[in-house]
Structure 1
């Protein structure tokens, strides 16, 4: 893929594989409407139709044989998704029909689009910036309402507007520093240096903190349940899911291998991981399960460490030294007679459901604590890396004398321009669009 626009017309099936009621073949480029006219028979010629109109007719092959009937939507540049002339051929969603239409479009002069090439052309034609293009990908891949909302915000330009606000603060100080070179005896007033840089740093810190939430909204979170045998891990997993997914018995060590199950919690996709009980054992298989449990806990986004309130205190493990810092302590079996109480733990009962709403809320707060109530989250690792670099340069500029701070601020602006794509290298752009599907 390349950053430069190619003066050709591209075509691709724009709907998901498989049979459906409606399917779309999308064309974009200088001859998109001409190619559509060679495939379409109706009362009007797509090449002579104003933008924003749709035509009803038949789709035919080179020999004039009818492939299907449907609609041809016409978009004129620059008022289209790509900023070019665009035609969308809407037919029945039969794979045979769509592949036939695509083959005829290629025979009529189009070429097969690369993955993400329609959105790449939209970016190169100034219809969106790189942050918005990434939001398109996130929207296509959204599995939950939270992920959809964040992707929609990004597509609307909300992320870009926050970045532009930071750039404005940095540019204000950089301009004052450059003016100082002409009048070195006057220096830079504090309101033109310390204030704007402090605001820029604060906003960047807030955006970076949102990155974890954005990552979890798109990828999902792994939640590991660990504790001693019979601490209630499998029962709690079943209670959170609302159905019996894991075998529950009174026999200690029933779970020897880990088990995964998915659910949505507060709009976030969660993978629950039920693990083998933690204890010293001579059983080779169970010992392997214990080692695996510790590895799973280390790799989880959040750990629930379960302690049985109905068991004697002396039989309960103290917190393991290796317990990850991202752990919530949970006291289980509170429907039974409690032999002890831990005020630092969340009390729950998998039998009665007591404490489960509070546990769900605590899990969400722990996962999204850095995001707070922010409206916009950074949705990709690339965006987070660019924001971090910008923050490092802003902080460095704040510590340097006026005559040296300008370089750091220029680097901060360059990092932020990478985020929106205004100063991005070709390999950065390629890394974004190579993840797209064909047809978008």
Structure 2
């Protein structure tokens, strides 16, 4: 999809989720949206004849005048609509057969089938949303946790754009001061016009970049692998965290021979917990394959919970995962301990001891300092742009004035990418291709 093509067309799509439902919506947007809606709607008034913000009740008809369904038309007049264009929403019963027939009739009357994300793309191109807000729409649609929903809502309300705008104002102030100094070196530049804004901008960017990992985990979810020797308590811990028996637990070592996944929410982040086969040398081909798979899962996990049985003689695990991606747990803390290590968090799947502390430790590892931040970066694109802006600001603070001026121009350009004031067509195509049709 090219963002420059077809924006003069009227586009249409089913905007409700696939499958049956009580209500379904076919959305039209463009210069002919209300005329097309009038061509298939029979009621007391035509959609093209009423002001925006009106509901009309009547029949949706086919080309022969037969009734497709009864329903409502909601009329929006541009620029006071989601897309900034004239919009008609045809609300009918949510049967796939009804929706598909209604959409087919709309297309017969001259609308074009919308591309993925085209309604939101039009909202961006018509100035109704900046690019960060447009990405927040996708975040709301895909939100799998309360944290993801909250960040997407803040983004849609423009909070990220405002934060980026404040940083940009500081950089602009410093850039103007440097350029004035280059033009009029005898005048000098007060520190509050150059160094102070630069220092604050750098600090703000560092804080913003620090939220990137948390924002992406809140959006896509995190994978936590439970690793340990047989009978270390991995399956029991998984069941305890879930609150129900998902994994089979027996006293026999090697019960879990393949990995098992379960979903939950921890620290406001959607989590996939992965229970893996116990790590040990074995001649059993199936169990050995499970052990290899457990090691692979540990390497790919966002966080690894390393479990060691605190009630038996200690035998350290040969873990190759970087320590910063590991949490070390001493399991079976309800039994008399055979060893003690301050680096390990005691937990018991039987009594629940340490589970609250474990959840807090997971939260700290996944969210870091971002937990106290109001606004997060929620996409790799945003994080990349913010990091580049930060690197340019750092360079500007140590370079001569002429080079510093150039670095600040690059920093401002990188910041502009976040809100979409300076972004290529290829980037736009990539962003909106991730949207569903109808949004």
In structure 2, the CA distance between the partners of 1:439 and 1:318, relative to structure 1 (3 Å rule), is closer
- Alignment pair present for 1:254 and 2:223: no
In 1, Cα distance between equivalents of 2:290 and 2:221? 25
- 2:364 aligns with 365
Structure 1 CA distance for aligned equivalents of residues 247 and 282 of structure 2: 22
Alignment of 1:153-164 (within 5 A): 153-164=154-165
The 3-state SS of whatever aligns with 2:23 is: strand
Cα distance in 1 for partners of 2:37, 2:29 equals 10
State which drifts further: 348-357 or 156-165: 348-357
Matched residue SS, 1:69: strand
What residue is the counterpart of 2:3 in the other structure? Answer: 3
Distance 1:109 1:254 in 2: 62
Secondary structure in structure 1 of the residue aligned to 2:69: strand
SS of 1:371's partner is: helix
Q: Deviating runs (4+, > 6 A) in structure 1?
A: none
Asked if residue 27 in structure 1 is aligned to residue 38 in structure 2, the reply is no
The match for 1:229 is 230
Contact 1:11 1:102 in 2 (8 A): yes
Give me the whole-angstrom Cα distance separating, in 2, the residues matched to 1:160 and 1:169. Answer: 14
Deviation at 1:437, TM superposition (A): 0.8
Give the whole-Å Cα distance in 2 for the aligned partners of 1:97 and 1:280: 60
- CA offset digits 1:7-61 (Å, max 9, x no partner): 1211111111111100001011011100010011111111110011111111111
TM (norm. structure 1) is 0.96
Alpha-carbon separation, structure 2, partners of 1:373 and 1:406: 33
Partner of residue 341, structure 2: 342
Say whether 1:325 aligns with 2:320: no
Cα displacement (A) at 1:321: 5.4
C-alpha distance in structure 2 between counterparts of 1:93 and 1:291, whole Å: 48
Query: After superposition, where does 1:212-361 map in structure 2 within 5 Å?
Result: 212-313=213-314, 316-317=315-316, 320=319, 322=321, 324-361=323-360
Q: Tell me what 1:404 maps to.
A: 403
Aligned to 1:104: 105
Q: Which ranges in structure 2 are unaligned for 5 or more consecutive residues?
A: none
SS at match of 1:399: coil
Q: Go from structure 1 to structure 2 and tell me whether the alpha carbon gap of 1:321 and 1:56 turns closer, same or farther (over 3 Å shift).
A: closer
Give yes or no for contact 2:228–2:317 (8 Å, CA) kept in 1: no
- 8 Å CA contact 2:229–2:317 kept in 1: the answer is no
Please tell me whether the aligned partners of residues 298 and 324 of structure 1 are also in contact (alpha carbons under 8 angstroms): no
**Relative to 1, partners in 2 of residues 1:187 and 1:404: Cα closer, same or farther, differing over 3 Å?**
farther
Deviation by residue 1:98-119 (Cα, 9 ceiling, x = unmatched): 1111111111111111111110
TM-score by length of 2: 0.96
CA deviation map 1:283-323 (0-9, x unaligned): 4443333332222112111111111111023xx21664555
SS at match of 1:261: strand
The CA distance in 2 between the partners of 1:391 and 1:365, in whole Å, is: 24
Maintained 8 Å contact 1:132/1:156: yes
Q: Does the CA-based 8 Å contact 1:212-1:370 persist in structure 2? A: no
Task: Report the Cα distance in structure 1 between the residues aligned to 2:51 and 2:241, rounded to whole angstroms.
Answer: 55
Q: Quote the Cα distance in structure 2 between the aligned partners of 1:258 and 1:188.
A: 63
Distance 2:322 2:58 in 1: 66
Q: Mean alpha-carbon deviation: is it higher for 391-400 or for 244-253? A: 244-253
The reply on whether 1:113 has 2:114 as its aligned counterpart is yes
* Deviation larger for 263-272 or 78-87: 263-272
Alignment partner of 2:93: what SS?
A: strand
1:92 Cα deviation after fit: 0.6
Tell me if structure 2 keeps the 8 A contact 1:303–1:324.
no
1:380 equivalent to 2:416? Answer no
Contact between 2:79 and 2:85, CA under 8 Å: does it hold in 1? yes
Task: Output the CA distance in 2 between the equivalents of 1:57 and 1:321.
Answer: 67
Equivalents in 2 of 1:228, 1:79: separation in Å? 62
Per-residue CA deviation, residues 187-219 of structure 1 (Å, 9 max, x unaligned), is 433222221111111111111111111111111
Residue ranges of structure 1 left out of the alignment (5+ in a row)? none
Deviates more, 1:5-14 or 1:397-406: 5-14
* Aligned counterparts of 2:255 and 2:39: Cα–Cα separation in 1: 67
Deviation at 1:149, TM superposition (A): 1.0
Aligned to 1:79: 80
Counterpart CA distance in 1 for 2:31 and 2:320 is: 65
**Alignment partners' CA distance in 1, 2:366 and 2:321:** 20
Q: Secondary structure at the match of 1:20?
A: coil
Which region of structure 1 is more displaced relative to structure 2, 339-348 or 425-434? Answer: 339-348
Name the residue aligned to 2:52: 51
Question: 2:372 is paired with a residue of what secondary structure?
Answer: coil
**Counterpart in the other structure of 1:125:** 126
Cα pair distance change 1:247/1:299, threshold 3 Å: same
Match of 2:397, SS state, is: helix
**TM-aligned CA deviation for residue 230 of structure 1:** 1.2
- What CA RMSD, in Å, does the superposition of the two structures yield over aligned residues? 1.5
Aligned residues: 438
CA distance in 2 between partners of 1:349 and 1:392 (Å): 45
